[in-house]
Homo-oligomer: A and B are copies of this chain.
């Protein structure tokens, strides 16, 4: 993970300045990476143990490499697939928030109060959540990359993560990878209050 600052430029370039949809320019990204490391196509090819032509073709998006191929190529840099497809984040300004300034997100049986307004580009989201008795998030929630954790303040709170399920009481907590499908339910008689944190923001 090179922290050059040049990397930042590249990432910006790759992500198309915010307009880009899901399809980033794989070729452009590889080329930027290679140039950042001062490698010629042939040199990278040699290190990666592949032909030089494939690097040229990939960089021009004239071919869509197999994952095995891309992994080999990245191995010559070296860089992991994980890092290659990773994104980045940025800083912020506001510090304090009055209780009634927390932006309301939910509305019905489940209410979220979020610290901060626009969290795009921020690395942390913290929520104060309230679940009325019987409230249920449903089971098809799959948030994006990141991790999620929370502490129960009040009530009986059922948390399901992948295959695991548990009912948590005040003071109990959870911590899991947000990519695993998860579900929250209030299984008690009283309102559930819980404080959760995610990284990065998923709303």
Contact = CB atoms under 8 A, between A and B. Distances in A.
Interface of A: 14-17, 19, 21-22, 26, 36-37, 49, 64-72, 75, 77, 79-92, 94-100, 102, 113, 115-116, 122-124, 126, 128, 140, 142, 144-151, 153, 159, 161-162, 164, 166, 168-177, 179-181, 195, 197-199
A112 to B, nearest CB: 12
Given A49-B19, A172-B97, A82 B72 contact: no
Contacts of A90: 177, 179
A126 B67 contact: no
Q: How many monomers of this protein are in the complex?
A: 2
A144 to B, nearest CB: 6
Given A64-B67, A67-B70, A85-B85, A97 B174 contact: yes
A92 B172 contact: no
Contacts of A79: 142, 179
Given A65-B66, A66-B67, A89-B82, A146 B173 contact: no
A180 B123 CA distance: 16
A115 B152 CA distance: 11
Given A92-B175, A197-B199, 12 more contacts: A22-B75, A64-B68, A66-B66, A82-B86, A84-B85, A87-B179, A99-B171, A113-B171, A115-B174, A123-B146, A149-B197, A197-B197
B95 A164 contact: yes
Contact of A122 (B77, B88, B147): B147
A85 B95 contact: no
Given A16-B75, A64-B69, A171 B82 contact: no
A86 to B, nearest CB: 5
